[in-house]
């Protein structure tokens, strides 16, 4: 998707489709916490795997990688994936992944802005549900999602391959 998607706030805050040029900022934010530091590789040049993943996401109409800019600088990122299901009468759901706000810009309401956008975008795409997982080692994130109205209704499980 190569369109400007907006959430202007006096031209200081906007949410837009990520570009390849945003990738270093995205990886920097993903690596800038105790969990991300163990699994991401923020260096120059970035490993080719990040570029390949970006290309796959960018080329898939059911994936949207967006960044939040504050005064022209990338300060947030999230990936929104739209998933068709046979359950719920063939309904669609949206999945939020890879949410980060720049560590120096937290507590400014930027995460809430990104989620306001994600919720509205999911409605636009006809989704009946927006879901996410959060690591149990991130209690602040859990509280944030609960404050947004998310409910821990299921037990998530993962199998490392």
Residue with the two structure tokens 């080719």? 48
Consecutive 10-residue runs of the chain (161 residues): their mean pLDDT? 45 91 97 89 95 98 97 96 93 96 92 96 97 90 93 88 94
What pLDDT score does 33 carry? 86
What pLDDT score does 35 carry? 87
What pLDDT score does 1 carry? 35
pTM of the predicted model, to two decimals?
0.89
What pLDDT score does 10 carry? 56
What pLDDT score does 3 carry? 37
What pLDDT score does 9 carry? 52
What are the backbone dihedrals phi and psi of residue 141, each rounded to the nearest 5 degrees, phi first? -65, -40
CATH class of segment(s) 13-147:
alpha beta
Tokens of 54: 């970006």
What are the backbone dihedrals phi and psi of residue 40, each rounded to the nearest 5 degrees, phi first? -105, 160
Please state the separation of Cα 40 from the chain's center in Å.
Answer: 16
User: Each residue of 144-156: pLDDT tens digit?
Assistant: 999 999 999 988 8
């Amino acid at each position: 998707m190569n369109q400007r998607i907006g959430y202007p706030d006096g031209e200081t805050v906007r949410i837009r489709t990520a570009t390849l040029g945003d990738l270093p900022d995205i990886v920097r934010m993903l690596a800038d916490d105790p969990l991300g530091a163990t699994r991401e590789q923020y260096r120059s040049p970035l490993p080719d795997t990040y570029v390949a993943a970006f290309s796959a996401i960018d080329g898939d109409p059911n994936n949207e990688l967006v960044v939040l800019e504050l005064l022209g600088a990338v300060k947030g990122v999230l990936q929104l994936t739209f998933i068709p299901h046979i359950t719920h009468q063939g309904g669609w759901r949206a999945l939020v992944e890879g949410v980060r706000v720049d560590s120096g810009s937290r507590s400014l309401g930027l995460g809430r802005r990104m989620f306001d956008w994600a919720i509205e975008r999911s409605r636009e795409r006809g989704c009946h549900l927006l879901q996410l997982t959060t690591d149990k080692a991130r209690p602040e994130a859990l509280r944030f999602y609960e404050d947004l109205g998310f409910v821990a209704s299921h037990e998530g499980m993962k199998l490392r391959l």
